[in-house]
Structure formats: structure tokens, C-alpha cells
């Protein structure tokens, strides 16, 4: 299977399509990860709050792939923010995953009301220096949060993982990322499945002989984003990775751009939690 990689500002690379495992049980995660690796995926996106890191670790072991070939992301949950707590949380994640390092560690939410994300970022920088994580980034940050990390530490997050799908396209934030040298990673890339029945996407899918899930994932890939669709169904896991044999044309891209309706599905990061 074909695949593509995105270079990160720290010199590492990330496989552009990863498997998301939010809301998968331990057992579902283990099976989904195994099927995904067998299908050609080399990138898995989990988090301590998903409560399935053990399952992810089991799936990786079962697939028997060499560690160097695989890219594993996990995240520091809100209640683990702060230097010491974040350091301990990473150690606990590594233990559950049965890994000696993760490829990418993210601060899951900025949680500005608590205002510990800068201290947490310093813990990520230290963990990277100790070899417990190869690359460090953030999730659900805005320009102000990103700029503060950069100004205070001189270390720029390699990427920002944010809600981004056809109903919530985040054009301004993507431009900000470009200016700062930060990659955009799309969470809920299919709009949690809600975008799959949109008539515009169905029409484009029919035109290319693909599914609407494949059209949306291709849209992310073609626009240079990292994308982490979730499924625990083997046929869908395979389908979602099979997007390298067609291309959307300029008309398709104009039509998808017109679907944006401000339809955010998750919380406003300034208000959460």
C-alpha cells in the first residue's frame, strides 16, 4: 500500500494517516491496531484519557512490527498538567503501552483556566531530552497559547492536533500554523461520521468511485494535513487508508470548501474544561 510522510520541524517525520482510537475499549483498540498495522498503517493516536493504552500496546506486540517503523502518539490529560504530574503521567503511559518511548507526546488541552500548560510544556521538553519521547506537540491550542510556549521556551510544538472536518475547516488557524512552522493534525476528521452523508460529498464520491469517507480523508491528505480517522471495523480501517489511487480536482475542492458551516462538534478550548 502506498503511504505518505510529513516532515516535522525537529527533523523527524510522521506518517500522514494514523488510526484514531478514542472511544475504543481495550479489546477493540488491540484488534483495531493489529488490523491497521496489517493494512499498512504505521501511526496510532491514543491518549491516557482514552483508557486503552494497554490495548494499543497489545495490538502493537501482536502485529510484531519493528518499533522503529511505528509512530505512536499519546497525550497528557488535563488533571496531569504541571511539571511533576506530567512527567509521572508519561511514565505511566509508557508502562501501559509497554514501550520505552513514544514518537509524539501532546498536551491534550490547554486548560487556560488552570494555566499550567507552560509548566507542562517544560516537562515535555525535559522528557524529549531524556529520550522518552521523540517529538513534542500540543492539541487544541490557539495562537496565543502557541506563541506563549515559543516565547517562553524557544521550543516550537511540531504540530497542533485540532478539531477539523468539512463542517469546521479552521482556515485561520491553519494559516497561523503555517506562519509558525507548525503542522496541522485533524481530529474528528470525518466529523465523527456526521459528514459522511452530506450530498456534496456523496456526489464527489460517486464521481470518483470512492466512498465519502475516502473523499474526506483524501481532502485532508491533499491539503497537507495529518489525519487520524477512527474505526474499529476492519473493512473501514482498510478503506480509510486506501486513498492514494485518486485525486480531488479543483472543482471538488471548491465544493468542499463551501460546506464549512461553523459546525464545531467538540468544546471551545478556551472554555474546556
For residues 81 and 53, the answer to whether their CB atoms sit within 8 Å is no
| 171 vs 192: CA distance, rounded Å | 19
| 173 vs 171: CA distance, rounded Å | 6
Residues 180-199 that bind ligand NAD (CB under 6 A): 187-193, 196
- DSSP per-residue codes, 250-264: HHHHHHHHTT-----
Residues 198-257 that bind ligand NAD (CB under 6 A): 211, 213, 228-231, 236, 239-240
Residue of 34, 41, 50, 117 marked active site: 50
Nearest approach, Cβ of residue 132 and ligand NAD (Å): 20
Q: DSSP state, 251?
A: H
Stretch that binds ligand NAD, among 17-25, 87-95, 112-120, 125-133 (CB under 6 A): 17-25
Which three three-digit cell numbers place residue 127?
Answer: 522528557
Tell me whether residue 9 or residue 242 sits nearer to ligand NAD (CB atom). 242
Binding mask 82-111 for ligand NAD (x = CB under 6 A): --------------------------x---
Tell me whether residue 134 or residue 210 sits nearer to ligand NAD (CB atom). 210
Residue 184 β-bridge partners: 160
**Is 55 among the residues that bind ligand NAD (CB under 6 A)?**
no
Stretch that binds ligand NAD, among 16-24, 57-65, 77-85, 126-134 (CB under 6 A): 16-24
**Is 123 among the residues that bind ligand NAD (CB under 6 A)?**
no
Residues 6 or more apart whose CB falls under 8 angstroms from that of 153 comprise 118, 121, 122, 125
41 flagged as catalytic: no
Q: Which residues are annotated as a binding site for substrate?
A: 108
- Is the backbone of residue 240 left (phi > 0), alpha (psi -120 to 50) or beta? alpha
Q: Is the peptide bond before 134 cis (omega within 30 degrees of 0)?
A: no
**Is 22 among the residues that bind ligand NAD (CB under 6 A)?**
yes
Binding mask 137-166 for ligand NAD (x = CB under 6 A): --xx--------------------x-----
- Nearest residue to 28 (alpha-carbon basis) of 6, 50, 5, 4: 50
The dihedral sign for the CA sequence 32, 38, 41, 42: positive
Which three three-digit cell numbers place residue 156?
Answer: 516550537
| 82 vs 117: CA distance, rounded Å | 7
Stretch that binds ligand NAD, among 15-23, 60-68, 90-98, 152-160 (CB under 6 A): 15-23
**Burial class of 65 by CB neighbour count within 10 A (0 to 12, 13 to 18, 19+):** middle
Nearest approach, Cβ of residue 238 and ligand NAD (Å): 9
Binding site for ligand NAD (CB under 6 A): 20-22, 45, 108, 139-140, 161, 187-193, 196, 211, 213, 228-231, 236, 239-240, 266
User: What residues are labeled active site?
Assistant: 50
Amino acid at each position: 500500500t502506498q503511504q505518505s510522510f510529513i516532515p516535522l520541524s525537529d527533523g523527524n517525520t510522521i506518517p500522514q494517516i494514523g488510526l484514531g482510537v478514542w472511544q475504543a475499549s481495550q479489546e477493540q483498540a488491540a484488534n483495531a491496531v493489529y488490523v491497521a498495522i496489517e493494512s499498512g498503517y504505521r501511526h496510532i493516536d491514543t491518549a491516557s484519557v482514552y483508557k486503552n493504552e494497554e490495548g494499543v500496546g497489545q495490538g502493537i506486540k501482536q502485529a510484531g512490527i519493528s518499533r522503529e517503523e511505528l509512530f505512536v502518539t499519546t497525550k497528557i490529560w488535563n488533571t496531569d498538567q504541571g511539571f511533576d504530574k506530567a512527567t509521572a503521567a508519561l511514565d505511566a503511559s509508557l508502562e501501559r503501552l509497554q514501550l520505552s518511548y513514544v514518537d509524539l507526546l501532546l498536551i491534550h488541552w490547554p486548560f487556560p483556566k488552570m494555566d499550567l500548560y507552560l509548566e507542562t510544556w517544560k516537562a515535555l521538553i525535559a522528557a524529549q531530552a531524556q529520550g522518552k519521547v521523540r517529538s513534542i506537540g500540543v492539541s487544541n491550542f490557539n495562537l496565543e497559547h502557541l506563541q506563549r510556549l515559543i516565547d517562553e521556551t524557544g521550543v516550537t510544538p511540531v504540530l497542533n492536533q485540532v478539531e477539523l472536518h468539512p463542517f469546521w475547516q479552521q482556515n485561520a488557524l491553519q494559516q497561523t500554523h503555517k506562519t509558525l512552522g507548525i503542522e496541522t493534525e485533524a481530529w474528528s476528521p470525518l466529523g465523527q461520521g456526521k459528514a459522511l452523508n452530506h450530498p456534496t460529498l456523496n456526489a464527489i464520491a460517486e464521481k470518483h468511485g470512492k466512498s465519502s469517507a475516502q473523499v474526506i480523508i483524501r481532502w485532508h491528505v491533499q491539503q497537507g494535513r495529518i489525519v487520524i480517522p477512527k474505526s474499529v471495523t476492519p473493512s473501514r480501517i482498510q478503506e480509510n487508508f486506501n486513498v492514494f489511487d485518486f485525486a480531488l480536482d479543483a472543482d471538488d475542492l471548491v465544493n468542499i470548501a463551501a460546506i464549512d458551516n461553523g459546525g464545531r462538534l467538540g468544546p471551545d478550548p478556551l472554555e474546556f474544561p
